[in-house]
Amino acid sequence: MSLHIYDTSTRAIREFVPVEAGRASIYLCGATVQAPPHIGHIRSGVNFDVLRRWLTRSGYDVTFCRNVTDIDDKIIRVSAAESVPWFVVAERNQRAFTWAYDTLGCLPPTVEPRATGHVPEMITLMERLIARGHAYASGGDVYFNVQSYADEYGTLSNQKLENMRPAADTDDESCKRDPRDFALWKGEKPGEPTWPTPWGPGRPGWHLECSAMATKYLGPTFDIHGGGLDLIFPHHENEIAQSQAAGDGFARYWMHNGMLKIGAEKMSKSLGNSLLIPDMVQKVRPVELRYYLAAPHYRSSIEYSEEALLEAAAAYQRIEGFVTRAAEVIHDVDADAPLPQAFSDALDDDLGTPQALAVVHEVVREGNVALSRGDKEAVARLLAETQNMLDVLGLDPRSPQWRGTGSDLTPVVDALVAVALEQRKAARARKDYAAADAIRDQLGAAGITVEDTPQGPRWELSR
């Protein structure tokens, strides 16, 4: 079976056939950096990181472009409210997003363009649209003429032009030929940043930015465009219109991840119910938060609750427990071991992570049985399968991302704990169980959990 994905534009599951054999190109709408990220923002990063990892595992050379919208109406409003330059707001929050992506194990993008670095490409795109009769300049602004593209406009969101509301993206609608025309370029306003253009100074519109960056790095036609469901209209609809009207093929597949909700409402900063990443990783470890976000199907909505978060953390710990115990028995894991067919089939079926994780848990159950029987051959095979599956999902507890690098104190703690465990062993040998329990309790108070196993006592840091 080959990869099949749900394409929003056709509302159907389609086989993934790339523009260029052996290569896959992905553009993901990244952060608009007016505020730090909550878990609703980072869900998209995790979902498309799994897609990227799976494409790589499937043999594709992946180019992954995730943009940064660093100039926008919202950024300007925050800038004014805080009385700081717009670029201070953008830089501060971009760093917060980068930290969050890194903390949750998302691989760095191949390229991460900023909107403000691509104004020349935006000017070129507007010139092409004006020359083709699909855009016009008015009062220092430049607008996309939706009537010139009426037959195709609305295909992604399954709407008819006559049923659409005004774009409502300018203070003076009289500049537009049609209230549904959307701004490609916004003319100069007092106190706002500007860039020079043939139509006067100003700043880019949101939709124009992504079209210019996507085609610069991935070409006029590329494979997959991703983002949250809330971007389908108007953002992605407008990207398609301006790009294809200019003569580009643009994205062949459109993938959209579901929203994360609290109660019946989508998470947003305006609702005041944001769950920021630094706060979340105080509740659970980053790898457990990643598991929580990756476990549901990417197109499903997530109803956030702390109970569900802790259940996900416990589920991950069961996987981690097997990997840790098995690695004490098997020291060399076969990184080239084949993945279980059911796991591959699940991910090939529109990135079915719930079914893929069900396979992981089944293999872990088999592995625990093999451990209890002392069947080292089976343990070796099942550990290799488990770690290889977890690597695809970015969840391998033995990867450098989750084990830490450069400051691993395991050898030091091993030496200190070994002394205490020898004392405990001696106490148990003379049947002084009170002393043995006291030693274990002292270790527990120091944050170290001791577990008695057939291979002898083992320790780990307490949860």
HSE-CB at 290 with a 13 A cutoff on CA atoms is 27
CA distance 460 to 453: 13
Distance of CA 418 to the CA centre of its chain: 41
CA distance 437 to 266: 49
pLDDT in tens, the chain (463 residues): 899 999 999 999 999 999 999 999 999 999 999 999 999 999 999 999 999 999 999 999 999 999 999 999 999 999 999 999 999 999 999 999 999 999 999 999 999 999 999 999 999 999 999 999 999 999 999 999 999 999 999 999 999 999 999 999 988 889 999 999 999 999 999 999 999 999 999 999 999 999 999 999 999 999 999 999 999 999 999 999 999 999 999 999 999 999 999 876 666 655 545 699 999 999 999 999 999 999 999 999 999 999 999 999 999 999 999 999 999 999 888 888 899 999 999 999 999 999 999 999 999 999 999 999 999 999 999 999 999 999 999 999 999 989 854 345 556 666 767 777 777 778 788 888 787 788 778 777 777 887 776 666 767 666 5
Bridge-partner residues for 195, per DSSP?
A: 202
pTM (2 d.p.): 0.89
Q: Is the peptide bond before 234 cis (omega within 30 degrees of 0)?
A: yes
Question: What DSSP line would sit under 266-285, residue for residue?
Answer: E--TTTT---BHHHHHHHS-
CA distance 365 to 87: 51
Residue whose entry in the numeric block shows the structure tokens 């993945």 = 339
Domains of the chain: 4-257 (3.40.50.620), 265-403 (1.10.730.10), 410-461 (no CATH)
214 and 242 in contact (C-beta within 8 Å)? no
